[in-house]
Structure formats: structure tokens, C-alpha cells
Structure 1
Amino acid sequence: MALGPIQFYCNTAVALICGIALWTDCSSRRISNRLILIGLICTGAVVLIEVYFKGDWQNAGGRLAAGGFASFLHGIPYVSGQMGAGDLKLAMVMGLLLGWDAWHAYMGYYGLVLGTAALILCLVPAKHKPWSLPLALF
């Protein structure tokens, strides 16, 4: 299935935002609220274009549903203290930008990366294991 220009720009925005978030999370263990705000502004522009110019309410609703679902899935580790609020907000922005149609690709990536990280942590000797991992990658 070919991507439309709107979804192409959304995927590009997700890649840029996640790349910056990965860099800042690995270096300072924080994800900036400015970065989250940029993602929300991009989402607002996309929804405005989809609804106002294309009349496509279904994609706008799918984006909201994907953002809510991402928030719910990442809210569980946040409430238990295993994940920071920046990671939770980043997941929400990713869900909003990707939309419901592209959500399955994100979940496949999510499972692959988490499975690889778990395998690496199992193979690392106990005395060399890090106390925590930067989660912007996930």
C-alpha cells in the first residue's frame, strides 16, 4: 500500500522526533517538553489538513484513538515507576502522528526492539548490567 503525502510527512516527523528523543534520553535521561510540543503542533497541523482540506474525520479519529491507546499502554509502566513521563508523552505523540492505520507497524517495532533489549540484558553478566535503560528508543 502506497503512503499518501500526509502520512509520509507524519512518518518523517516521527523519525526525527524519535531520533532527537533518543539522543537526549541517552545523554541526559530526559525528554524535553519542547520536543513533545513540536510533535503536538505537527499533529495539530496534520489533523487540520485532514479534516479541513480533505474532509477526512475518520483518520483524525484514528489518530486520537492511536494516541490514547499508546498513552494507555505506556501509562502502566509510568504508574509503576518504571518509565518517565517524557517517555509516556513521546508515545502519545507517536500514536497521534502515526494514526491507527500505521499503529501495527509501531507495535511490531516495539516488540522487536523490546525483545532484543531483553535478550541482550539476559546475556550480559550480572555485574555489568545497567540499573536502568533509556526508554526513548522503545
Structure 2
Amino acid sequence: MTLHSAAVLIVHLALAVVGLCLIVIDARTHRLPNRIVLPTLAALIPLVVMEALATGDGGRMTRTLLGGLALGVFYAVLRLASRQGMGGGDVKLAAVIGLVLAWHGWSTLLIGAAAAFLLGALHALVLMALRRATRHTRIAFGPWMIIGAVLAIGGTYAVLSA
């Protein structure tokens, strides 16, 4: 294992721990705390720049930063379109997830973003079918964003190792 591979593994493990904490918090409280999301975002940006300097891969850095910006802006537009939909925490988490997914590639970003909406919709439909929710029930979306990202990253590695 190279030093770069070890660093990537450590960062992904740290993100998994942060993701698990956020899933639990959002599922219980419908909040994604700034004290967790913002430091994660603030730590990822210099890591991406340092990786680009160490590997000489400026293209990956550009894609990663653009991906974080793009997904964050997309969620901000959704938030502005309906205050009852996305929360501010979802917007900030989208920037984090966009960075991580785009680091793996544009297709991983698109799959992870789409998976979040698909999983969230399926969850809502199951709750409605069980009569545990209505169209107006608030459902935490952060867990689906994180799970969608994990599935997209896992799928990327499964395809690459096949």
C-alpha cells in the first residue's frame, strides 16, 4: 500500500465515522449540526489541494472542487424553491458529499446524488404505504444523502475491481 493509498483510506474511514454520526443525529433530530458539517468541509478542501500538490493531479482537484460547489448549489436552489423541503444542513452536507463523490469521478457524483433522492423517495413511499407518514410528514434527508454516497463509492470500487 502506498502512502497515498493509506491517506485515502484514512480519510474515507474518518468520513464514514462522521457520516454515521450525522445519520444518527439527523434521524433523531432532523438537524445536521454546523459544528460537524462545517469543520468536515473545511478539512476536506485543504486535503484536496494537498493531494493535488503531492500527486500533480490538478484535474482531479478541479473536478472535486467543482463537484462540491455544483451539488451544494443544486441543494441551495432546492432549498430556495421550497422552505419546507431541504434544510440548510442538507445544503452544507451536499457540498461535503459533492466533494467526496466528485473526487471519485463525475459519474460517481451523479449516481450518488441520484441515489439519495431515489432512496429518500422509496423510504417516504414505504412510510406512506404503512400509514406512518403523509405527504406533509418531514423526513430526514441527510441519511439518504450519506447512504447514496456510500453506495455510489462502493459501486465505483466494485466496478473497478471486477
Q: Shorter chain as normaliser: what TM range?
A: 0.7 to 0.9
Bigger RCO (CA 8 Å, 6+ sep): 1
* TM-score, reference length from structure 2: 0.69
Residue of structure 1 in register with 2:89 after alignment: 86
Select the structure that is richer in helix.
2
Partner residue of 1:27? 28
SS at match of 1:90: helix
Counterpart residue type for residue 23 of structure 1: V
Which residue is 2:133 aligned to? 129
Does the 8 Å contact 1:74/1:88 carry over to 2?
yes
Task: Please state whether the residue corresponding to 1:98 is helix, strand or coil.
Answer: helix
Give aligned-pair identity as a percent: 23
The match for 1:110 is 116
Question: What is the Cα deviation at residue 104 of structure 1?
Answer: 3.5
For 1:60, the aligned partner's letter is M
Is residue 10–residue 98 contact of structure 1 (8 Å, CA) maintained in 2?
no
Q: 76-85 vs 14-23, which deviates more?
A: 14-23
Gaps of 5+ in 1: none
What letter corresponds to residue 78 of structure 1 in structure 2?
R
Range moving further from structure 2, 103-112 or 67-76: 103-112
CA distance in structure 2 between the aligned counterparts of 1:108 and 1:67, rounded to whole angstroms: 15
Question: Which letter does structure 2 place at the counterpart of 1:133?
Answer: I
Once the two structures are superposed, the pairs formed by residues 25-64 of structure 1 within 5 Å of their partners are 25-64=26-65
Change in CA separation of 1:17 and 1:67 when aligned onto 2, cut-off 3 Å? same
Query: 1:73: how far off?
Result: 2.5
TM-score using structure 1 length = 0.79
